Structure 1
Amino acid sequence: MGTERPTSTENVDALLPAQCRAARALLDINQQELARLADLGLSTVVDFERSRRVVSNDAIRSMRAALEGCGIEFLDENGGGPGLRLRQGPHEKEK
């Protein structure tokens, strides 16, 4: 079956390219900002999100940690597929 995801399951289990794009959209940040936050080159973020190449597990962990540091929570698959959400800040809970 033709799949466009990288072949290393360890690589995609930590963070899917679609999750990375969705997380950036929730945070309203671009690829360059994520690269800066994760201390990575812009091409690493671009190539990962477009599934151009398998990037290192360290790079994926850095992207995920940067997104989590900005308030993204990654959700387990639990039957519906992997997902994410934006954590509520203290000011949002009071509304």
Structure 2
Amino acid sequence: MSIPKVSIRQIKAARALLGWSQDDLAVHSGISVPTIKRLEATDGEIGGRVETRKALVTTLQEAGIKFLSDNDGGPGLRMAKRQRRSR
């Protein structure tokens, strides 16, 4: 699975949509709070190591975030549709 190009603004917006702090993202992703703070202090696409970007994006996707690219009408995000459970 390829990791989509995601901006720092999308990461911050995803955290806000989930109601997560930087500490929450750190706990769920295994990335340190200082690293998250450093990355979020910049603008543009997520910097840092590939493994770090992958961990952050994957964690947010698994929490229900769907990242939208420029091809989807501009970068953004939304909550992914939940799968209905069969009874």
Report TM bin, short chain.
Answer: 0.7 to 0.9
Supply the RMSD in Å over aligned alpha carbons: 2.2
TM-score after normalising by structure 2: 0.78
> Does structure 1 conserve the Cα–Cα contact (< 8 Å) formed by 2:69 and 2:76?
yes
Aligned to 2:16: 25
Query: Percent same amino acid among aligned pairs?
Result: 31
* Residues in 2 aligned to 1:63 and 1:79: alpha-carbon distance in whole angstroms: 21
5+ residue gaps in structure 2?
A: none
| 3-state SS of 1:14 partner | coil
5+ residue gaps in structure 1?
A: 1-12
Aligned to 2:34: 43
Q: CA deviation at 1:88?
A: 3.3
TM-score after normalising by structure 1: 0.72
* Residues in 1 aligned to 2:42 and 2:26: alpha-carbon distance in whole angstroms: 16
Greater RCO (Cα-Cα under 8 Å, separation 6 or more): 2
